[in-house]
Amino acid sequence: MAKRSILHMFDPMPNNSPFDINMALDAGFDVLMPYSNVKLENIQNLTQDVIFSRTPAACKKTAIFIGGRDMGMAIDMLQATKPAMVPPFQVSVFADPSGAYTTAAALVACVEKALKEKHGKDLNGCKALVFGGTGPVGIATGVIASLQGANTTLVDHLSIDAAKDAAKQYNRRFGASIDGAVARNDEEKAALIADADIVFCTAKAGIRVLNAAVLGQAKQLKVAGDVNAVPPLGIEGIELNDSGAPLILASQSGNAVGVGALAVGNIKYKTQQELLKLLLETEEPLFLDFREAFTKARTLV
């Protein structure tokens, strides 16, 4: 009897994401096994239960997906699976906590494309702000943009310490060069945005982060990207399906363009789907995180 493909879904949260379960089924896995409240110290034993219960050939039809909400924890869990593998008993592992890696990868790839097409520039040397920058998507966005050479700042809406601490932690982890800032009101947002080239909005759904008056202070703005698809949208003047459409600012005509949430979501969906399929197709074990997600997203924009 042919072995069925199995995806074991490790999640430190109380429940696994229905989004990820739907995506995995649609990618072609026959069986999904969700595990909730998984701790880092559980990863080795769980991984070895996964690999030693199947033949080396069947391991090629077996994979692990790591969810949760914490970018750092997901990376730690992914790394913990590696020493648990005993060749030829090996499986592929894909980390994407709360979809943060694939969402951030899609956002940066879409903005990068608009920046190139509309302004003839790449990310290197651009000043980029990430509003909602201390959440999982914001941190992943900041790391990816920084690694591409953007001068990137994570912006928190309450605490400079939270932003600085996140920047320090992930600079150390990934060799990025992120800074942290706080913007508690429109005046502080306008001051930050005045000389920004790029704005990423990764704040919670249904919150207007940047209004037209604030955007009007952005004299150098080239591209603004928003992942919020729930009204009110995060950035005023960007429509859901915008993919490099002109962004109307309050006090200047400018040449800034916008990237909307559904345009980003389309690439995010395709990126996650392609990486899940890759787990089933590969002959050699893969370990996938935000870096591979960004590489894939770039091919899909």
According to the model, what pLDDT value does residue 7 have? 98
The yes-or-no verdict on residue 81 having pLDDT over 80 is: yes
The yes-or-no verdict on residue 253 having pLDDT over 50 is: no
Indicate whether 111 and 93 sit together in one domain.
Answer: no
**pTM, two decimal places:** 0.96
Instruction: Give a yes or no: residue 26 inside a domain.
Output: yes
The Cα 202–Cα 182 span in angstroms is 14
Indicate whether 36 and 151 sit together in one domain.
Answer: no
Indicate whether 260 and 271 sit together in one domain.
Answer: no
Instruction: Give a yes or no: residue 284 inside a domain.
Output: yes
Indicate whether 95 and 233 sit together in one domain.
Answer: no
Instruction: Give a yes or no: residue 1 inside a domain.
Output: no
For residue 139, give the CATH number of its domain.
Answer: 3.40.50.720
The Cα 106–Cα 299 span in angstroms is 10
The Cα 150–Cα 173 span in angstroms is 17
Indicate whether 123 and 221 sit together in one domain.
Answer: yes
Q: DSSP class of residue 230?
A: S
Give the model confidence (pLDDT) of 2-59 as tens digits: 899 999 999 999 999 999 999 999 999 999 999 999 999 999 999 999 999 999 999 9
Give the H/E segment covering residue 182.
strand 179-182
Indicate whether 91 and 115 sit together in one domain.
Answer: no
Indicate whether 72 and 94 sit together in one domain.
Answer: yes
Indicate whether 137 and 63 sit together in one domain.
Answer: no
What's the Cα-to-Cα distance from 114 to each of 110, 123, 184, rounded to whole Å? 6, 11, 29
Indicate whether 91 and 108 sit together in one domain.
Answer: no
Give the model confidence (pLDDT) of 167-225 as tens digits: 999 999 999 999 999 999 999 999 999 999 999 999 999 999 999 999 988 989 999 99
Overall domain count for the chain: 2
Indicate whether 233 and 273 sit together in one domain.
Answer: no
- Confidence band (pLDDT; 50, 70, 90) for 248? confident
Domain that holds residue 64: 6-99+267-300
Report cis status (omega within 30 of 0) of the bond before 232: yes
Indicate whether 154 and 190 sit together in one domain.
Answer: yes
Indicate whether 254 and 286 sit together in one domain.
Answer: no
Could you tell me how far CA 177 lies from the centroid of its own chain?
17
